Amino acid sequence: MPDEHDFAALWISLRLASLTTAILLLIGTPLAWWLSRSRWRFKFLVEALVALPLVLPPTVVGFYLLVALGPHGPIGALMEALGGAPLAFTFSGLVIGSVVYSLPFVVQPLQDAFDAIGQRPLEVAATLRASPLDRFFSVALPLARPGFLTAAVLGFAHTLGEFGVVLMIGGNIPGKTQVLSIAIYDHVESLEYAQAHWISAALLLFSFLLLMMVYGFNRRFSRVQS
Amino acid sequence: MARWTMTLDARFHVDRGDFSLHVDLTIPQSGVTAVFGPSGCGKTTLLRAIAGLESNCTGYFRIGGEVWQDGRRFLPPHKRPLGYVFQEPSLFAHLSVRRNVEYGLKRLRPAVRRVSLDRAVALLGIGPLMDRKPHQLSGGEQQRVAIARALAVSPAILLMDEPLAALDMALKHEILPYLESLQRELDIPVLYVSHSRNEVARLADFMVLLEAGRVRGMGAVGELFARLDLPLAHRPDAETVIEAVVAGHDEAFALTFLDFSGGRFTVARNDLPPGRRARLRVLARDVSLTLERQTHTSILNIFPAVVDEVFDEGGAQATVRLRVGDVPLLSRITRRSVVNLDLVPGRAVYAQVKSVALLN
C-alpha cells in the first residue's frame, strides 16, 4: 500500500501539474496566437526555441535551469537582490522548470488550432465591426476550443510524468519537492516493488483515461464542426 | 434607367508581383453595381480593398461625405460601415443562426441601426432557421443567413463577392428573388462581384468591367452590354438588356405590354402588376432589320431605330448597334445584309425583335 510519503508526492505532483498548466495556458495562448498570425521573417527562431524541450534530454534543461535559478545564477541572484530566496530546490523552482519543459506541449496544439481556423472567420468578424481583440475572444478562442483541451491535457499529463528536470531542480526532498514519478524511482531503488506497482498503475490508468476523454471529445467536436 | 446623382469614388493600387490592380472608379451610390470580369481580373481584390482587408493597398475611398482611406488615413475594416458577403457563406460554426445574425448587430451603436434583426430575417426568409447551427443548413440557406448577417449591420454599402458562385443552379434560383427584393426594399447600394452575365443582367443597374486589374469600361448595364469597343457585344450570344415598365395585360390573347423609351414590347402574359419595372433581354441574333416597316408579319415587336455603329465580326457576321428611343439595341446580321441595305451610321431602319426574355 502507498505510504504517507507517496500521498505527499501525489499532492505535490497534482499541485505542480495544475499550476504549470494554468500558467502555460496563460503564456501559451498569446504566444501561440502570435506564432499563428505573425509574418515576421525570423518567426522560425522562436518556433525552434519553443520546440527545444521536445528534443533536449531533460537533464540538460534541468542543468541549465539549476544554474540559472541557483544563488550564483542570473535569476537566483536577481531573486536574492529583491530580497527573496534562490529558487533551486523549492516548489517555485519546480514550477518554473515545468513551465519551460512542458511549453511545446501546450503551445503546439494551440498554434495548430489557431492555424486551422484560417483567416476567413476573422475577416468576417472584422466586417461585422469586431475589433482585433474582440475577434480573438469571440471567434478565435471558441473555434480553437478542441486545441485548448488537447493543450491543457498534454501540459498536465506531461508535467505529471516529468522526471529529469524535476530531479535536477527540485532535488527529491520528500514532502517538499518529491513528485510521484520520483517516488516510484525511490521505491524501485529500495526494492519496494509493490508500492512502485501501486503508483505506476494508478498513473497509467489516470493518463489513459485523460487521453481517452480528449480524443473522444475532439472527435465529437470535429464532427459537429464539419 | 435611373440617373445617378450621388456617387462614390474608389481609387486603388495593389501590387503583388504576379498581379496588380490599378483602378479609378466613380460609381453610383444607389442600386446594384456589378463588378464583372473573368476570374483573376481583380474583382475580389477590389472588394477586399474597399473593405480594408487587402494589405499592401494604397489609394482613396470616399462614400457620401466619409473618406475611409486616403494617403494619410486608413480606417481599419471593423470601423468601415459596410456589409460583406463572401463567396462561401463563412458562418461562425460555433454560433447558432440567431447568434450569427446578431453578431454584427450587437456591435453597432443603437443610433446607427437602420435595419432591424426582424427585417433582415424576414427579407431573407430565415425565420424558421434561427435556432439551428450552421452545419444543419443547406448551402443556399447558409448563404441567405450570411446575407442577413451582413444586412443586419445597416451597412452604408453592401459588398457581395460572387455570393451565388458556390451554389448549383437550383439554389441560385432560390436566392435570386431574395436579392431582387432586397434591392427593392432597402436603400443600400450594392457592389456585386460576378462573372455571370446572367446575374449581372438580372440584378445590376450599373456595371464595371474589369480585365487584368484594369477597368475596361463602366456605365449603365444596358449601355455597357451594347458597347462595340468592349468584348461583351461580340460574343456569339451577345445581348441587350432593356429596362421597361409593365403597361398592362391583354387577357384575351394572354399578352403583357411593357413600355420603354423606344416603344412598347408585347410578350407572353406574366404576373407582374402594371407599373412594375422589368428587365428584358434581347439576343442580338434575334433582331433583324428592314428599311420599311413590315406589315404582314407575325412578329409583334417592331421598333423604328437608327443605326449607330456597324462592326465587322469577320466571316459572314456583322454586329449593328442601333438606337431605339434612347436605349441601345444590338443586331447580329450578315455582312451581305449590311451592304445590301447600305447600313451606315444615321440610317433609319426598323428593328424586328423575334423573341424577348423577361429576366425577373
pLDDT recorded at residue A223: 62
Residue in the block written with cell 478562442: A141
Give the confidence band of B280 by pLDDT, cuts at 50, 70, 90.
very high
State the smallest CA–CA distance between residue B102 and chain A in angstroms: 10
Which segments within B251-360 are labelled E, that is strand? Answer: 255-260, 263-268, 277-283, 287-290, 301-314, 317-324, 327-334, 348-353, 357-358
With a threshold of 0.90, tell me whether the complex ipTM lies above it. no
The alpha carbon of residue B85 is apart from the nearest alpha carbon of chain A, in Å, by: 8
The rounded mean pLDDT for chain A is 88
Which grid cell sits at B265? Answer: 414590347
8 Å CB contact of B77 and A121: no
Question: Mean pLDDT throughout B296-324?
Answer: 94
Which residue from A minimizes the CA distance to B158? Answer: A127
Helix (H, G, I), strand (E, B) or coil at B317: strand
Q: How many CB atoms lie within 10 A of CB A220?
A: 11
Closest to B104 (Cα-Cα) out of B162, B158, B35, B50? B158
B78/A126 Cβ within 8 A = yes
Inform me whether the C-beta atom of residue A223 falls under 8 Å from chain B C-beta atoms: no
Q: Are the Cβ atoms of A128 and B104 closer than 8 angstroms?
A: yes
pLDDT band at B38 (very low <50, low <70, confident <90, very high): confident
Q: Which residue of B has its CA nearest to A142?
A: B94
Average model confidence (pLDDT) for chain B? 91
Chain B from 154 to 213: CB within 8 A of any A CB: none
pLDDT at B251: 93
Confidence of residue A225 (pLDDT cuts 50, 70, 90): low
Which tens digit of pLDDT belongs to each residue from A164-208?
888 888 888 887 888 888 888 888 988 889 989 988 998 899 888
Average pLDDT over residues B120-149: 91
Q: What is the grid cell recorded at A137? A: 475572444
What phi and psi values does residue A42 have, to the nearest 5 degrees? -100, 25
Model pLDDT, residue B2: 45
Which pLDDT belongs to residue B305? 96
The verdict on a CB contact (< 8 Å) between A124 and B86 is yes
* pLDDT band at residue A20 using 50, 70 and 90 as cut-offs: very high
Q: What percent of chain B has pLDDT over 90?
A: 69
Best of B78, B99, B157 to disrupt the A interface (most A CBs within 10 Å) is B78
Count other Cβ atoms within 10 Å, centred on residue A175. 11
Q: What are phi and psi of B229, to 5 degrees?
A: -90, 0
| Residue B1 or B182, more confident | B182
- Percent of chain B residues past pLDDT 70, beyond the cut: 99
Q: What local confidence, expressed as pLDDT, does residue B22 receive?
A: 94
- Of the pLDDT bands very low, low, confident and very high (cuts 50, 70, 90), residue B1 is very low
Q: Note whether A127 contacts B108, CB cutoff 8 Å.
A: no
Higher pLDDT pick, B181 / A43: A43
Asked if residue B318 lies in contact with residue B312, where contact means CB atoms within 8 angstroms, the answer is yes
Q: Which of B94-103, B125-134, B181-190 has the lowest mean pLDDT?
A: B181-190
Average pLDDT rounded to a whole number, residues B300-313: 94
Question: b/e per residue, A11-27, with b = 16+ CB within 10 A?
Answer: ebbeebbebbbebbbee
pLDDT reading at B294 higher than 80: yes
| Inter-chain CB proximity A225 and B83 less than 8 Å | no
Verify whether the Cβ–Cβ distance A128 to B77 is below 8 Å: no
d(CA B51, CA B82) in angstroms, rounded, equals: 7
With bands split at pLDDT 50, 70 and 90, how would you rate the model's confidence at A77? Answer: confident
Give the pLDDT score at A224. Answer: 58
B198-252 pLDDT, tens digit each: 889 988 999 999 999 999 999 999 999 999 999 899 999 999 999 999 999 999 9
pLDDT at res. A222 = 67
